[in-house]
Chain A
Amino acid sequence: MTGMAALQQAGHLTVAGASKRFGAALVLDDLSLAVAKGEFVSLLGPSGCGKTTLLRCIAGLLRPDAGHISVAGRDITTLPAHRRNVGVVFQNYALFPHLTVAENIAFGLRAQGVSKSESAPRVAEALALVRMTEHAGKPVTALSGGQQQRVAVARALVVRPSLLLLDEPFSALDRKLRETMQVELKHLLREVGITAIFVTHDQEEALVVSDRIAVMNAGRIEQLADPATLYGRPASLYVLDFVGQSTRLAGQVTEAAGGMLAVQTALGPVRAPGQFAPGSRVVVAVRPEAVVLGEAAENRIAARVREVSFLGSRTQLHLDLPEEGEDRGVVELPRLPEGIGPGSAVTLAFREADTMVFPAP
């Protein structure tokens, strides 16, 4: 229990040792998480990693088989959803189709017995907050996707929840609108000063909206860190692959001294900081933008370009790697040098400090 107490002190939201089993599948596996007041944390992972289950447990729509959940120091593990004061923005929003925009937003206030005279100004305030005042009387079925999302956010915020959960809030929007809404929503929630948990499978979205990201894998949190750390110093190959792209090469440690490793890969020797015994099978990796063409850094490898992808602000080179398997080559350049295309032989250089080493899977 002392661990629990320590976690509770640390976080506004605390999940301690939560497990949940559906039949034979262990969907949450002794998971712990602490989120500070006002913080935005993303639960990032592929479908089936348990992120939505964790969200539903926090909301009170599911009860974990083991573990405790507390908000603001109060243990809410066994409390039903309607007594938790935890707001949820559902995937596809789950707006009440038989009610207008204003009635949707007023729903929670009416459910909690707030008088009409008190709720009217609060609904008006929430409508203004999401810039939906002029649509107050419309049926929600007449709204666009972005407008529906705003109503869902206003509906959840108007009851002043102690925590807001958002389940894939942008997945129903098209790409352009999604990018706008991500920034808009982040700004809005920051202004309100609420603690928020986003569930998403989209790593770019997680990087944009979060203060910290919890990368989930098979019911556990693989790494919980701020976006820059997660991207620059992934704790595992799983995180490396899930967040961003990389060039990764399997290899074997040939030399280890003073915190530096020499690793023999299929494309030649590479040096990197790390702690592995000589002979260990490892994977070395480097992020696409840490690689330059030429010889301007310590590590150099020769490769052939398989495909070139123009992405507007940058260009990606996909490399032909000699070996089948997990090896991958992705390099990003601000602009494509003259004369380089599919089939070109190139020399890639990257700094030792930018090179990461993971134990081979």
Chain B
Amino acid sequence: MSATALAAPATPAPARRLDPLALLALPGLAFLGVVFLLPLLLLLWSSIRGAEGFSLQGYVRVLGDPYYVGVIGASLQLGLVTTLGALLLGYPAAFALARAKGGWQVLLFALVFLPLTVSIIVKSFGWGIVLRRDGILNWAMLNLGLIERPVRMIFTEGALYAGMINVFLPFMVLPIYSVVRMMDPRLPDAAATLGASPWFRFTRVTLPLSLPGVVAGVSLVFSLAVAAYVTPSLLMGDRYMTMSMVMAKAFLNLRDWQLGAAMAAVLLAVAAFVVVGASVLQRRLGGR
């Protein structure tokens, strides 16, 4: 064998526009195309197909009928309250998780993330058991003499919010945690030695640096909560109709595909707006 044969090829490979590794995404894209994009197109098609061909009747009803407008408002409100609650509870929790050491961190991790392994249906039923008229909470308060008669908790908005925040809290904690974990814990110390008060340190150092995690958590929890179906169904039933519940009713009970599809399209638009808005915001925050 000659020395030239052993040498590395002299001519560089021609530059390609697409990395061949990108081809690895094809099977996944094909799968998504079949199970996601196609049904989505069918859904959008259903939303504009009335009994006599093309019609926007579905959208007119969803966006014009006070009842359905109320449902959209209720869903947005549920999404907002859940997101706000999860943020207030999850933000400090994410810091505790990121700063905890050794065994404490394992324990906190378990507390935050083990609930994810429990089905959302089980969790919502669990809240039912806790909050029922003859549930654990009423039983405990009666026996402690805090109340004289059982308090109605289930089927109240408070119970719904508690259940929703419980279900979606991990989705707020995780993105904030992952940002905080990368944050140098000496930065607030550095700010302190420069004369910054605790409030100034938080608003000018800690908060801005954790904002990308907050934006990710907020968009994740809001888009999940606004589309929630199981938890509101089990904790509130028909008393608190969300967009997802109307969709289920339209498709399963009323067999009104156009209504259901139009509602689904509105929900999709709301979620897409939030997610796209968040990623734009995040890019701007991360641009520094």
Contact = CB atoms under 8 A, between A and B. Distances in A.
B17 interface: no
Interface in A59-104: 59-61, 80-88, 90, 92, 94-98
B196 A82 contact: yes
A90 B200 contact: no
Contact of B195 (A61, A98, A108): A108
Contacts of B191: 82, 96, 107, 111
A98 B200 contact: no
B152 interface: no
B190, B193, B197, B201: which has the most chain A beta carbons within 10 Å?
B193
Contacts of B239: none
B19 interface: no
Contact of B193 (A59, A95, A96, A97): A59
Interface in B190-220: 190-198, 200-201, 204-205, 208-209
A139 interface: yes
A86 B193 contact: yes
A85 B192 contact: no
B194 A60 contact: no
Contact of A81 (B193, B200, B205, B208): B193
A111 B198 CA distance: 10
Given A107-B204, A111-B200, A139-B288, A94 B194 contact: no
Nearest to B182: A97
A159 interface: yes
Interface residues of A, number: 28
Interface string B167-186: 00000000000000000101
A94 B204 contact: no
B210 to A, nearest CB: 10
A131 to B, nearest CB: 21
B195 A94 contact: no
Contacts of B190: 88, 90, 94-96
B189 A107 contact: no
A87 to B, nearest CB: 6
Interface of B: 184, 186-187, 189-198, 200-201, 204-205, 208-209, 288
Given A81-B192, A155-B194, 5 more contacts: A88-B193, A94-B187, A108-B195, A111-B195, A111-B200
8 contacts: A59-B189, A82-B192, A82-B195, A85-B195, A87-B194, A98-B209, A108-B195, A159-B194
